[in-house]
Chains A and B, each alone.
Chain A
Amino acid sequence: MITATINGNVVEIPEGTSILDAAKRLAIKIPVLCKHPDLDHTAACGICVVRNKSNGRMLRACCTPVEAGMDLLTHDPEIVGVRRTILELMMSKHPNECLTCGRSGDCELQTLCQDFGIRREELPNITPDLPKDCSTGTIELDPRKCISCGRCVQVCQDKQNVWALSFLDRGIDTRIATAGDIPLNESPCVSCGQCSAHCPTGAIVEHDESGIVWDKLQDPDAICVVQIAPAVRVAIGEAFGFAPGANLTGKTYAALRQMGFKYVFDTNFGADLTILEEASEFVERFANGKGELPLITSCCPAWVDFMEKYHSDMIGHFSSCKSPHEMVGALAKTYFCERNNLDPKKVFMVSIMPCTAKKMEIKRNEDMASSGMQDVDVSLTTRELARMIKQAGIDFAWIPESQPDHLLGAYSGAGTIFGATGGVMEAALRTAVHMVTGEKLGKVEFEATRGLKGIKEATLNVAGHEVRIAIAHGLGNVEMVVNKVREAKAKGEPLPYHFIEVMACPGGCVGGGGQPYGVTDEVRLARAKGLYSEDTAGVWRNSHENPYIQELYRTYLDKPLSEKSHHLLHTHYKVRPTYQR
């Protein structure tokens, strides 16, 4: 531990602590624009300057570690003046478009300009005329709004190992771009949206499709139905002043009903169903030797896309299960319509997801139209829903809770925890044990699956068998796990794992690319905690205990992996060649 003085107050911190973090301990907020808590500093913007009082030098707080005995000043007229100049310079290369910007109201640049009371453009505006990239239909890149902080590049290259974004050109002409200016839809981009979740401005935002949904809600012929993903319920509140992790399931249902949705389903039901199918697949492969091991989860469309592009030798290992919301979509237009005498052609299925990649998943192949039409019509992110709720004039904090439509809306705790890294694995193991032994599990928790470690490996006792598992989140962590499998296969050695779970976003869906802004590990953990508490408090902890799942099989699907299940709930994969990044 070392001590230093900041603004006259003494602070004791571990060696290596940045000035930025040290100041936080004294409740001093130094402004930042390029530094993100998830990422290494790029020291690109300079807005975090502070002064070393002993020699008068200016230092960047985000990347300078405190030295013992330092005497620092974070705010004085000159420092504030430097910061203001930095903002003015940024503004001179930034379009003055706040009113129509997807980030307005929640933009780090806009907020700072407000805080600094900037009321005038001091410098002539020299924003270059650069075209947008809207080619993916999931995220949109507007390089004119980029302040060259480098967050997205670090996220896409280092965290996700996708390399779809980079800076091109140099000096004043430096611009954020797709790799080699190749459009994103022809690039390795997997639409994870992590770039948009980390961007401080509106340079990368989700492709907003709320307009289509409003239109359908007004259409007297349309029967609008909706489902919400596990991770949405513990994050949507952040847009309305709730703390991360607050579970607002009932309020979200209520808001959706008020907006005009006729039926409200829950993707957690689909998660329970996925578990029945996927655990059956696992047991088939593990106990009955039918199919390749390890089994790899398939509910994350960004991961599926990445696998099809760069790890297509793993196709045989992939679970053929569709993702939970696609299962609900398929059943909404078949089972649900049949039970309720509805015309499926009139049903308009909207998914509310923490995810930008789901926007491309709903059209990824012909299996996504298993009901005879597109199963899910539109997929919105949590951020889009939050805006819609505001637009609809709903006072979210006060709205009384509502219930889902149980036929496709009742769920177990196992379905809830799908939203966190490790949750799919844990839920599947609970049901797999039951399938092998036929017994009720005493302790349902598999703690080794939880937490934010990038790769979690464990050997678990599942019904007396040794099951080796691996859980990776953040695509940058996948390579190592997949390579271990490849190596063992090539050498004919015993498999390193029997079951692998992958989620593309750090923290899993709770940290999804379409979630409210400002994500950090603290926020991810809080959101995950919200899910795990709902699991603990629930009546049913195992997917197979969900009586509505039981009813679905009894009256409609027959049994897991039946022909009908295969038709409605499973999919295929294909090699998707793109350039080798």
Chain B
Amino acid sequence: MSTNDQPAAPAKPVLAQPAAPGKPAAPSDQTAIIAKRWRAKRGSLIMALHEVQETYGYVPRDVALKLAPQIGVPVARIYEVLTFYNYFKTSAPGKFVVSVCTGTACHLKGSGDILANFSAQLGCKEGESTTDKLWHLQGVRCIGCCGIAPAVIVNGKVFGKLKPADVGDVIDKVLTADAAAAKV
């Protein structure tokens, strides 16, 4: 029942640069984007939560709390829905959740190879977690960072303009940052 067993949710993604020229600047907040897309539509709570899960691999607590007022659905109701359907996860499936964008822009810029490289280097298939539950790998729909495609989010941190060869580097960076955080 306590919240303590909830792993810390990823902080909101920090975007390296605004959206592609010609398009309105993307709001720098995934939750706001999702909320805006579904707010006006009746019965769209499930769709909104679906999209949150696709983006983060699960529905992090802070995203759910932020989403509630933005789509006008009480937190209590959101969790009624989240726990009603087996499909939804309310905790992270791995310590580090790697979301490789497979949206159109990223796909055209080679996200397939990036996903494949992650899969090879982490030793787990897309949609699955490593046996030690340290890593979870997933392909997700457009994450609103098309300007820096191909993009990957790891626990809320965005990595852009990746080349397949950068994958090892991303993994190292994540581990180094985590080790540094653990020291503090």
Contacts and interface: CB of A to CB of B under 8 A. Distances in A.
From A130, A177, A181, A186, residue with most partner B Cβ within 10 Å: A181
A183 B83 contact: no
26 contacts: A130-B1, A131-B1, A163-B74, A163-B77, A164-B76, A166-B79, A166-B80, A168-B79, A168-B80, A169-B83, A170-B83, A178-B1, A179-B75, A179-B76, A180-B65, A180-B75, A181-B2, A182-B75, A183-B3, A186-B3, A579-B65, A579-B75, A580-B68, A581-B68, A581-B74, A581-B76
B68 A181 contact: no
Q: Which 5 A-B residue pairs are closest in the complex by CB-CB distance? A: A179-B76, A580-B69, A180-B79, A166-B76, A168-B83
B64 interface: yes
B50 interface: no
Contacts of B2: 131, 181, 183
A322 B77 CA distance: 35
Contacts of A180: 61, 64-65, 75-76, 78-79, 82
Q: How large is the interface on B (under 10, 10 to 19, 20 to 34, 35 or more residues)?
A: 10 to 19
Given A170-B83, A580-B69, A181 B1 contact: yes
Contact of B3 (A131, A163, A167, A181): A181
Interface string A215-253: 000000000000000000000000000000000000000
A303 B80 CA distance: 26
B86 to A, nearest CB: 9
Contacts of A502: none
A193 to B, nearest CB: 18
Nearest to B83: A168
Interface string B82-111: 111000000000000000000000000000
A186 B62 CA distance: 13
Interface in B36-86: 61, 64-65, 68-69, 74-80, 82-84
A211 B5 CA distance: 33
Interface string A183-196: 10010000000000
Q: How large is the interface on A (under 10, 10 to 19, 20 to 34, 35 or more residues)?
A: 20 to 34
Contacts of B84: 169-170
B3 A179 contact: no
Contacts of A581: 68, 74-76
Nearest to A164: B76
A181 B83 CA distance: 10
A104 interface: no
A181 B64 CA distance: 13
Contacts of A167: 80
Interface of A: 130-131, 133, 143, 157, 163-170, 177-183, 186, 579-581
B94 to A, nearest CB: 21
A130 B1 CA distance: 8
A163 B76 contact: yes
B162 to A, nearest CB: 35
B79 A179 contact: yes
Contacts of B64: 180
Nearest to B80: A166
Contacts of A168: 79-80, 83
A183 B3 CA distance: 7
A159 to B, nearest CB: 14
Nearest to B74: A163
B76 A181 contact: no
A157 B76 contact: yes
Given A180-B61, A180-B64, A166 B3 contact: no
Contacts of B77: 163, 166
Contacts of A166: 76-77, 79-80
Contacts of B1: 130-131, 133, 143, 177-178, 181, 183
A131 B65 CA distance: 23
Contacts of A178: 1
A581 B77 CA distance: 9
Contacts of A579: 65, 68, 75
Contacts of B82: 180
From A143, A180, A183, residue with most partner B Cβ within 10 Å: A180
Contacts of B74: 157, 163, 179, 581
A579 B1 CA distance: 18
Contacts of A143: 1
Contacts of B83: 168-170
A183 B1 CA distance: 8
B174 to A, nearest CB: 28
Interface in B107-151: none
Contacts of A182: 3, 75
Nearest to A157: B76
Nearest to B79: A180
Given A179-B74, A179-B76, A183-B2, 16 more contacts: A130-B1, A133-B1, A157-B74, A157-B76, A163-B75, A163-B76, A163-B77, A166-B77, A166-B80, A180-B76, A180-B78, A180-B82, A182-B3, A182-B75, A186-B3, A581-B75
Contacts of B76: 157, 163-166, 179-180, 581
Nearest to A173: B83
A163 B77 CA distance: 8
Contacts of B80: 166-168
Contacts of A165: 76
B90 to A, nearest CB: 8
A182 B65 CA distance: 11
From A130, A183, A581, residue with most partner B Cβ within 10 Å: A581
A353 to B, nearest CB: 27
Nearest to A581: B74
A577 B176 CA distance: 35
From A131, A165, A183, A580, residue with most partner B Cβ within 10 Å: A580
A449 B115 CA distance: 69
Nearest to A156: B76
A143 B1 CA distance: 10
A150 to B, nearest CB: 12
A181 B2 CA distance: 6
Nearest to A131: B1
B92 to A, nearest CB: 16
A579 B68 CA distance: 9
A377 B76 CA distance: 34
